[in-house]
Structure 1
């Protein structure tokens, strides 16, 4: 996405500034050892270890081991674990202390449990929890409502105090006043963002419906309504009763998965009274270290078998990028004798970029209150369609409002983040870092009232133009947040011709989103190119081509477009186009009678509709990036050619639709499929037929046929299917070397069948050499490995049909860059 000024851009600016490799100096005082049960001698995972009267601490791993160090350690440590008596131990400073710590269980009697012969009693208990999942999961309640407070925080970690003396960072010396140490990891960190929201949430099971009204939202350094929507409760949910917990496209296996006995080992530990209810503690650990599972414990009510509290830590062997650690805690409250409802949740993620450099912590805290079962949706929410409603005054609440309504008081450090971020934004070096980050992420570099870009189109090469230079840009937000004007100029040193263009985008409204767009261009264009392909005037396209780049035409185009979003997820557009296609020496427009055309004017009107229920966006002032949807996405277009206007000679109707859906198939990864089809009514020359999307580069394109050439197939009615399955390492994780590399397997297949009517097959214009119909189906299949160095995907692809066509490759290797978790 271009022109987006939101959280990630600010964060990556910190990475640019603080991201030089940091050598971790040896610490003065270290304490390490193991914590075990005094009676059974079994390891105790997730015990809290901390230096007394300090913020430095950690927790034990799943085998009970821990290690903690600090420069300014106190003289003792504290060891705490739910269900055990707290203990403290002296610490010798400036040396290494080794302990085997035995904790004594608190005196609770375990209730009688019926045990099957030869069976772990925890298994029988687990089955009772699973049998009651449908009753205890709040998503199965008829309806409810509650008030929610959500707090998110982002911290840059692995920051060393010595950095403040670096000459480069002197402008940021005040930031180090906020330096702290995380208790769980022992890493130092500086908070860079805090966000809070207060909202009312409503849920109905039949019909399935949910609504969140954000009453107040506050984010340090950011005043953006789109970002504010993501500070609410709905995007932070983890349901322990689900079989799989969605986490960055990964289906993490819940400890309460129906088949949990296949993935986890369970142990009953002890009992305790929680809110006056007798509860049993059950620990769980993964059976296999490579699977996306958790280690942790849960307390379960012994009568309803409802979860009262659960603590999770991500299995360290899980194949998830950029995540060094993840921990979550959920606490439930009794609403009546049979319903335990979420009361609070805490999520902690330790992200790492590369070893030895800075990373960041992500934290989320949610507090739920005023739970009402069988609640009615307010009339004000019934009349609105968005699932998340941001009230008009949500981002304008003053300090006194937050002080009165915030259920959890902010710490002194958290309060200071708001002030610190405002100061950071004014530092010249930070502004420069933000501009560099904008260039890398958005492809534009801001220079006052102007943004230069896209930078990757500055130089390219093709057979018609030879070496090509292009300079372009657009106005920045400093000029206006209602109108954006852009333009470009290019020159080919072989054809010695200038190309140029300009456009203007006007934002009539953001809620609902209503935009107007107008553009003119005179430039070289590759017809039959997927809209998701690398542009032809791209330096990477020039370098990665597998065939010479000559199937280009000079296009003059004038376009007017109006888009209207009726409700979130449903939008329509109308577009008026005038296009003049000029023939080239390689792509001619010769008639059957021997005559030819030097240009072909075309006028058309395009109507489009997009249906994407639940689609989420993060938006800037003008443009926005889709975060996808769990539901299918449908795009429908209808193009009407208009004869006798601006010289156009063709009247036709083209209907086109596609259906895109991503289906989780945990634990086997996920499947994405695309179904597309269309039909053209009328007789037209070949440039107006469906020129199927080929790919003549070594760059992998998921939306094109990677082994198909440009101008190889055309249709006036067609249907295609793409299947792409991402296994997320399901097979490779079982191979020790592959597990270490964290490579992941991918398989895909693409198929296409179409036809041409006799009128269009034997029309007045001669088809370019190699262009034919696809009445015989076209197929290609591929297998690949993604996540190489976390950003590279390489596929081996076989073409299975039309193998006698000229100048084709039957087999190829294609590579692409992608950022995935």
Structure 2
């Protein structure tokens, strides 16, 4: 994914973080409540600021944390059976408390306990019964949204401050603070705010957002500004499952919540003029995808009034030490409660003691209008998200009036601090290094040199292959990108080369034009997502000699137009010459003569559709972040014999269906259905050469136990299903679950055929045939080994008599997953 070098660190951090008000400083309190006599921690103790509605309860370990912008200076700590404590606190600073409550002997009347459902469970059933009425996502509405995101480096200690590498950054230590949730010190490194008009339709499901103002420390770019809106940020307690990095965590008010949680009724009181109940919850079993916390619910509407949920211990989630989400709702009429403020805090660390990152997110809502029709200009927006002209240049007076609360001096100072950091030479060097490892390119002025992993490789055809490649940087142009490469093999003594250009006519919606030419070797029948043949890793991970490479001269031009979010067309014109080799000869069936090459000139129309797609855009590339809906691609290709030297006349149709979806609570799945048909007479290199894999690297989009040039078809259909169980089974074994390994299984099915007329064009290479008898392979594996490795055991179930095949194999993948 290609991004501008200055902002690459910001993109990495922001991608991770995505997921009562007054003025002045923030008061932060972290503490523990104990029994004064036994010194045992006391769970579910009420802790609140005096004369406010700001409060919390202690956890099972007796711990609590509170933050407020209010001017409150007194803490009230109360619990049934204990004397209430009143403690003075210091305003606007971080402080830690250890509170011991003294037992208070109270004589109670006799209580008769009868069997039956608890009061807490009856309340939960009422909440579930009324969820559709109370869920804001079930309504059509518009509102104004304020969004604030902050990213911090945590675990800042004196040893770090003394390191020579930070000598140029001494001025930043004035911004170090302490987090109330974790007790860790942290240094803010990024802050962004946005003000937007947000529109939500329940039926049909649709989101539209216009960002009116956005402000980012160290960044002033419209492509990045899209992340500051609400569309990319959502944690809704009314969902049955709250998705955090592909993990479907069970909501405490899920329809199946009683199977996963234990509930306790703690308290009841008026909030405003509404009588409410306080419920606390905790998981029934360890390592299940659940939360701990509490919420208040209104006794007449059964709507959530406020809630705090926290990631439960030992949830199988990588790099996330802690996560806390809070929500506060207000009534907008007699029956409907709507969010007033949502906050999310995430602690990212490799281990608890290493330096990591905090991500904070705050969303505030105002001017909520229910069932109001969308303005015409909003309904006709070609994209779901629009950054209004001038949004990046709003004055400070605007922000002072628009914010729902005033930034603290430390928060406001982050803008200036980050700008100062970017002027330090060491910072610029650090960003260049990060950019090289993330993007595989090293930036030098107007040029980006890379990808570096293609500099050297080796294969049977070329021997040692050396390659120099690069492209223009954003400093050269943000509208035009030029690229090229030069490669040489010391065995075939042949130079290969290529040049290309991409012109961005428009970025949102995307309209682009590209032209490129190459003369290089290719592996026909390789999946588009496999490691490229000139990747050094491919050279070392091969399980067969890669002597099936083919020289190809290819001229391609395309015009791409996105009509609106999710729907686009691409017209591609291609002139392609394929040359034979001693391993892949072109020999006529009719007379045994050899063909010097195969030439085609084709025009392809691609239609791509994915509803409600989320994406990230750089200056030239647009990368999909997926959708809850499937992605469908349909291609129509036409070649006319004699046109631009084409040797063949044919039509080719191709349909691809891809869907990644949650199967909560047992993980998530990928389903791919692929089908195609060729009309006309063509030689075998123009058939569908099914995607094999002759490396030990796992390739999701290939048949991993199939060789290259093993199967071809002129009509075919394939089915692929992959299920990630996310530790659903392994988490039940006490010794294994600490490893946090996760199960994964796949099934692949392929069937196809070749017409007789296509069999009679060229003699097939040894081993190539049709797949009228279905090809099937299965795999079972474990992922998340050391958090980055995946190992699969694969079984090939059919075509076991084919030459040079393996019925069983092990494949390894490298992946970073949460």
Deviation at 1:4, TM superposition (A): 4.6
| Unmatched tracts of structure 2, length 5 or more | 16-28, 67-72, 91-95
The equivalent of 2:333 in structure 1 is 336
Which of 687, 690, 694 is equivalent to 2:688?
Answer: 690
The equivalent of 1:753 in structure 2 is 751
The equivalent of 2:675 in structure 1 is 677
- Aligned partners of 1:348, 1:80: CA distance in 2, in Å? 25
Q: 1:201 to 1:99 in 2, by over 3 A?
A: closer
**CA displacement, residues 687-727 of structure 1 (integer Å, 9 cap, x when unaligned):** 10000000000000000000000000000000000000111
Q: Please tell me whether the aligned partners of residues 454 and 473 of structure 1 are also in contact (alpha carbons under 8 angstroms).
A: yes
Q: What secondary structure does 1:155 align onto?
A: strand
- Aligned partners of 2:114, 2:777: CA distance in 1, in Å? 54
The equivalent of 1:805 in structure 2 is 802
Q: Given the two structures, how large is their TM-score scaled by the length of structure 2?
A: 0.91
**CA displacement, residues 347-383 of structure 1 (integer Å, 9 cap, x when unaligned):** 1110113453210000111111122222221122122
The equivalent of 1:536 in structure 2 is 533
- Aligned partners of 1:558, 1:6: CA distance in 2, in Å? 34
Q: Please tell me whether the aligned partners of residues 601 and 646 of structure 1 are also in contact (alpha carbons under 8 angstroms).
A: no
The equivalent of 2:101 in structure 1 is 102
2:512 aligned with 1:515, yes or no?
A: yes
- Aligned partners of 1:640, 1:82: CA distance in 2, in Å? 77
Deviation at 1:89, TM superposition (A): 8.6
Q: Please tell me whether the aligned partners of residues 618 and 626 of structure 1 are also in contact (alpha carbons under 8 angstroms).
A: yes
Deviation at 1:390, TM superposition (A): 2.2
The equivalent of 2:727 in structure 1 is 729
- Aligned partners of 2:621, 2:14: CA distance in 1, in Å? 24
Deviation at 1:169, TM superposition (A): 1.4
The equivalent of 2:229 in structure 1 is 232
Which of 148, 152, 157 is equivalent to 2:154?
Answer: 157
Deviation at 1:202, TM superposition (A): 2.1
User: Which has the larger displacement, 481-490 or 207-216?
Assistant: 207-216
Q: Please tell me whether the aligned partners of residues 30 and 181 of structure 2 are also in contact (alpha carbons under 8 angstroms).
A: no
- Aligned partners of 1:720, 1:67: CA distance in 2, in Å? 54
The equivalent of 2:3 in structure 1 is 3
- Aligned partners of 2:56, 2:180: CA distance in 1, in Å? 5
User: Which has the larger displacement, 185-194 or 4-13?
Assistant: 4-13
Deviation at 1:675, TM superposition (A): 0.5
The equivalent of 1:44 in structure 2 is 43
Q: Please tell me whether the aligned partners of residues 151 and 191 of structure 2 are also in contact (alpha carbons under 8 angstroms).
A: yes
**CA displacement, residues 492-513 of structure 1 (integer Å, 9 cap, x when unaligned):** 1111111111111111111221
Which of 657, 660, 684 is equivalent to 1:659?
Answer: 657
- Aligned partners of 1:614, 1:31: CA distance in 2, in Å? 41
- Aligned partners of 2:288, 2:740: CA distance in 1, in Å? 12
- Aligned partners of 1:14, 1:384: CA distance in 2, in Å? 26
Q: 1:382 to 1:115 in 2, by over 3 A?
A: farther
Q: 1:49 to 1:135 in 2, by over 3 A?
A: closer
- Aligned partners of 2:36, 2:293: CA distance in 1, in Å? 16
- Aligned partners of 2:226, 2:381: CA distance in 1, in Å? 15
Which of 705, 712, 718 is equivalent to 2:703?
Answer: 705
The equivalent of 1:766 in structure 2 is 763
Deviation at 1:44, TM superposition (A): 2.5
- Aligned partners of 2:623, 2:183: CA distance in 1, in Å? 36
2:372 aligned with 1:369, yes or no?
A: no
Q: 1:81 to 1:564 in 2, by over 3 A?
A: farther
Q: 1:527 to 1:49 in 2, by over 3 A?
A: farther
Deviation at 1:5, TM superposition (A): 4.9
- Aligned partners of 2:618, 2:31: CA distance in 1, in Å? 48
Q: 1:115 to 1:606 in 2, by over 3 A?
A: farther
- Aligned partners of 2:686, 2:386: CA distance in 1, in Å? 43
Deviation at 1:389, TM superposition (A): 2.6
Q: Please tell me whether the aligned partners of residues 321 and 348 of structure 2 are also in contact (alpha carbons under 8 angstroms).
A: yes
The equivalent of 1:640 in structure 2 is 638
Q: 1:86 to 1:382 in 2, by over 3 A?
A: farther
1:574-589, aligned counterparts within 5 Å?
A: 574-589=571-586
Report the count of equivalent residues: 783
Which of 592, 611, 627 is equivalent to 2:625?
Answer: 627
- Aligned partners of 1:334, 1:748: CA distance in 2, in Å? 48
Q: Please tell me whether the aligned partners of residues 561 and 576 of structure 1 are also in contact (alpha carbons under 8 angstroms).
A: yes
Which of 461, 479, 486 is equivalent to 1:482?
Answer: 479
- Aligned partners of 1:451, 1:8: CA distance in 2, in Å? 14
Deviation at 1:471, TM superposition (A): 0.9
User: Which has the larger displacement, 413-422 or 230-239?
Assistant: 230-239
Q: 1:677 to 1:432 in 2, by over 3 A?
A: same
Q: What secondary structure does 2:645 align onto?
A: coil
Which of 260, 265, 277 is equivalent to 1:263?
Answer: 260
Q: What secondary structure does 2:232 align onto?
A: helix
Q: 1:465 to 1:365 in 2, by over 3 A?
A: same
Deviation at 1:396, TM superposition (A): 2.2
Which of 561, 570, 575 is equivalent to 1:573?
Answer: 570
Q: 1:98 to 1:236 in 2, by over 3 A?
A: closer
Deviation at 1:78, TM superposition (A): 6.0
Deviation at 1:13, TM superposition (A): 9.3
**CA displacement, residues 401-436 of structure 1 (integer Å, 9 cap, x when unaligned):** 111211111111111111111121222111111111
1:301-450, aligned counterparts within 5 Å?
A: 301-450=298-447
The equivalent of 2:218 in structure 1 is 221
**CA displacement, residues 215-241 of structure 1 (integer Å, 9 cap, x when unaligned):** 111111122323222211232222212
**CA displacement, residues 757-814 of structure 1 (integer Å, 9 cap, x when unaligned):** 1101222x11111000000000000011111111111110000000000000100110
Deviation at 1:193, TM superposition (A): 0.9
**CA displacement, residues 577-636 of structure 1 (integer Å, 9 cap, x when unaligned):** 111111111111111222102222221111111111111111111112221111110011
Q: 1:381 to 1:58 in 2, by over 3 A?
A: closer
Q: 1:66 to 1:498 in 2, by over 3 A?
A: same
- Aligned partners of 1:233, 1:37: CA distance in 2, in Å? 46
Q: Please tell me whether the aligned partners of residues 58 and 185 of structure 1 are also in contact (alpha carbons under 8 angstroms).
A: no
- Aligned partners of 2:36, 2:127: CA distance in 1, in Å? 26
The equivalent of 2:19 in structure 1 is none
User: Which has the larger displacement, 368-377 or 467-476?
Assistant: 368-377
The equivalent of 2:713 in structure 1 is 715
- Aligned partners of 1:14, 1:376: CA distance in 2, in Å? 33
| Unmatched tracts of structure 1, length 5 or more | 16-29, 69-75, 92-96
2:199 aligned with 1:202, yes or no?
A: yes
Q: What secondary structure does 1:587 align onto?
A: coil
Deviation at 1:207, TM superposition (A): 3.0
- Aligned partners of 2:571, 2:360: CA distance in 1, in Å? 43
Q: 1:727 to 1:449 in 2, by over 3 A?
A: same
Q: What secondary structure does 1:261 align onto?
A: helix
Q: What secondary structure does 2:584 align onto?
A: coil
Q: Please tell me whether the aligned partners of residues 491 and 498 of structure 1 are also in contact (alpha carbons under 8 angstroms).
A: yes
The equivalent of 2:524 in structure 1 is 527
- Aligned partners of 1:385, 1:619: CA distance in 2, in Å? 15
- Aligned partners of 2:74, 2:354: CA distance in 1, in Å? 29
Q: Given the two structures, how large is their TM-score scaled by the length of structure 1?
A: 0.90
Deviation at 1:657, TM superposition (A): 0.9
Deviation at 1:66, TM superposition (A): 7.1
Q: 1:103 to 1:370 in 2, by over 3 A?
A: farther
The equivalent of 1:743 in structure 2 is 741
1:289-308, aligned counterparts within 5 Å?
A: 289-308=286-305
- Aligned partners of 2:211, 2:457: CA distance in 1, in Å? 48
The equivalent of 2:611 in structure 1 is 613
